[in-house]
Amino acid sequence: MTGYASMDTLQLQQELSALMQVYEDYQKMKLALNMARGRPDKEQMDLAQGLLSCLTPEDMILADGSDVRNYGFLEGIPEARQLIADLMGHTPAEVLICGSSSLNIMYDVIAHAFTHGIDGCTPWAKLDNVKFLCPVPGYDRHFGISEHFGCEMIAIPMNAEGPDMDLVEQYVNNDPSVKGLWSIPKYSNPSGITYSDEVVRRFAQLKPAAKDFRIFWDNAYIIHDLYDHHDVLLNLLEECKKYGSEDMVYELMSTSKVSFAGAGIAAIASSESNIKKLAKQFGVQTIGWNKVNMLSHVKFFKNKDGVLEHMKKHAALLRPKFAAVLDILNAEVSDIATWHNPNGGYFISFNAMEGCAKRIVQLCKEAGVVLTGAGATYPYGKDPQDKNIRIAPTSVTIDELKQAATLFCLCVKIATVEKMLEK
Ligand SMILES: Cc1ncc(COP(=O)(O)O)c(C=O)c1O
């Protein structure tokens, strides 16, 4: 607690000079810490090392007699489709395994929509305006894809339940140029919240003005619980089936933060009819994805329970890291900032006093702690209130995290006092 709210100008000035002295001492320490990377740490990836050596020559022949080392199975080998379908709560026919990066799938699907169109609709490249709804704060790489293709990005505020659904409905149901919506429904990047049942139901009941509108339901943190009392997300595809709207959903996931980042297996789930169309479309760009990698995932993890047991080991490594940061935030800056204590995922989304985020990131950088750029969690890299900072505690040691979080709080205090003195 800072008690800044009750300080007068003189007290704030004295506080600032005391804080600056401590800050200068930190600068002399020449720290080199990084809380910007939303990556798994080495010890998490070590847990899956056996995946690289688990296959034997006998494993090469699949149950149906085909050789996994050869071309074929464009939709993914049945064993992997079953595993991922079980994790996602779908049937294998609703799941396509392709490659090792879900971001890559999203990019390809959007590129195809631009060049060839979706479901016989006009290719997006031929339209004057293509709009994407972007719940904020959100994932910078989603926004990067929309920006790359020249889409207009419309920020949709997130609340504790998910995106502002009144606004989503207003846009999607009335504006035919709204073609896509980014969403990270479980342990959202970066806010850490999980969409409520009510929000998921409202998604399922959307009546898009554009036939080729798609929800990019990026379930990147679908099984990334930190605690036994984890969040539970309603199954959007199942909800959609009640309204015949399942073609509207592209759900994504990968094992980037289960096995190896960028070298796991990635999947897209949708209606069976969409999956057939996607398989045909991907069939132009490849004769088959890396099925050997799919098989090693199946052999190593065995089944859904095997994956969930594995994720418990990840959680045991990650819990103390999140706790280290949250304890320090709570002790130091709870009266001048807000954040959500996530039950899973990879981030803590920190909201400073308005107009302070850039200054905090700059102060941290000049004292040797790298944070994700202020604004990165907003379309075009512009946070209109300049207050959101994404903290990534996963790939730093606990001792380093404690040091980085303490310095971060010091910078939050400095930027806050400076801002208060401006008023
Ligand atoms: C929400 C979200 N989606 C996708 C990705 C990238 O996934 P992949 O490695 O499968 O491309 C990340 C990585 O941080 C992410 O946070």
| 90: pLDDT strictly greater than 90 | yes
For the CA of 188, the closest atom of ligand 1 is 1
pLDDT band at 423 (very low <50, low <70, confident <90, very high): confident
pLDDT tens, position by position, 56-78:
999 999 999 999 999 999 999 99
**What tokens were used for 67?**
């050789």
C-alpha–C-alpha distance, residues 304 and 298, integer Å: 10
Q: What's the average model confidence in pLDDT over 92-114?
A: 98
Instruction: Look up tokens 């939709």; give the residue.
Output: 75
Pick from 44, 96, 104, 141 the residue to mutate for probing ligand 1's pocket: most ligand atoms within 8 Å of its CB.
Answer: 141
Query: 61-302 adopts what CATH topology?
Result: Aspartate Aminotransferase; domain 2 (3.40.640)
Q: How far apart are CA 96 and CA 78, in angstroms?
A: 10
Residues 6 or more apart whose CB falls under 8 angstroms from that of 122 comprise: none
Atom of ligand 1 nearest to the CA of 253: 10
C-beta of 255 in contact with ligand 1 (< 6 A): no
Is the confidence at residue 370, as pLDDT, over 90? yes
* C-beta 218 within 6 A of ligand 1: yes
Q: What is the per-residue pLDDT across 207-242, written as a single tens digit (0 to 9) for each?
A: 999 999 999 999 999 999 999 999 999 999 999 999
Looking at the chain, the whole-number percentage of residues with pLDDT higher than 90 is 99
Residues 226 and 316: their CA atoms lie apart, in Å, by: 7
Q: Which amino acid is at 16?
A: L
| Closest by Cα among 416, 421, 423 to 2 | 416
Name the band, by pLDDT with cuts 50, 70 and 90, for residue 37: confident
Distances in whole angstroms, Cα of residue 182 to Cα of each of 135, 214, 318, 373 = 7, 9, 26, 20
pLDDT cut 70: percent of the chain above it: 100
220 Cβ below 6 A of ligand 1: yes
Q: What digits encode the pLDDT tens for the residues 268-317?
A: 999 999 999 999 999 999 999 999 999 999 999 999 999 999 999 999 99
What is the rounded CA–CA span in Å between residue 105 and residue 282? 10
Q: Is the CB of 265 under 6 A from ligand 1?
A: no
Q: Which two tokens stand for residue 171?
A: 């846009």
- Ligand 1 pocket test target in 84, 103, 221 with most atoms within 8 Å of CB: 103
Name which of 345, 322, 342 is nearest 398 in CA terms: 322
For residue 254 and ligand 1, the question of a CB distance below 6 A is answered with yes
Helix (H, G, I), strand (E, B), or coil: what is residue 257? coil
* H or E stretch at 252: strand 249-254
According to CATH, the topology of domain 4-30+308-422 is Aspartate Aminotransferase, domain 1 (3.90.1150)
Using CA atoms, how far apart are residues 184 and 233, in angstroms rounded to an integer?
Answer: 11
In this predicted structure, what is the pLDDT of residue 403? 96
Dist. CA 184–CA 267, nearest whole Å: 15
Q: What is the mean pLDDT of the chain?
A: 97
pLDDT bracket for residue 1 (50, 70, 90): confident
Q: Is the CB of 188 under 6 A from ligand 1?
A: no
Q: Cα 79–84–90 angle (5° rounding)?
A: 110
Angle at 230 between CA 229 and CA 236, to 5 degrees: 145
CA-139 nearest atom, ligand 1? 1
Residues in the chain: 423
Residues 121-163 have pLDDT tens digits of 999 999 999 999 999 999 999 999 999 999 999 999 999 999 9
How far, CA to CA in Å, does 88 sit from each of 53, 248, 279? Answer: 26, 17, 19
Pocket test residue of 102, 182, 194, 293 for ligand 1, highest count of atoms within 8 A of CB: 102
pLDDT at 73: 93
> Is 260 near ligand 1, meaning CB less than 6 Å away?
no
- Residue 335: band (very low, low, confident or very high) from pLDDT cuts 50, 70, 90: very high
Helix (H) or strand (E) holding 78: helix 78-88
The torsion angle over the Cα atoms of residues 30, 371, 23 and 384, rounded to 10 degrees, is 150
Instruction: Give the containing element (helix H, strand E) for 169.
Output: helix 165-174
Q: Decide: pTM greater than 0.95.
A: yes
Distance 79 CA to ligand 1 centre (A): 23
Residue bearing tokens 């418990």: 312
Token duo for residue 202:
């409202």
Task: Spell out the domain ranges in the chain.
Answer: 4-30+308-422, 61-302
Residue nearest to atom 16 of ligand 1 (CA): 189
> C-alpha distances in angstroms, 395 versus 291, 322, 323, 367, 399?
29, 11, 14, 19, 12
C-alpha dihedral sign at 22, 404, 376, 366: positive
Domains 4-30+308-422 and 61-302 fall in the same CATH topology: no
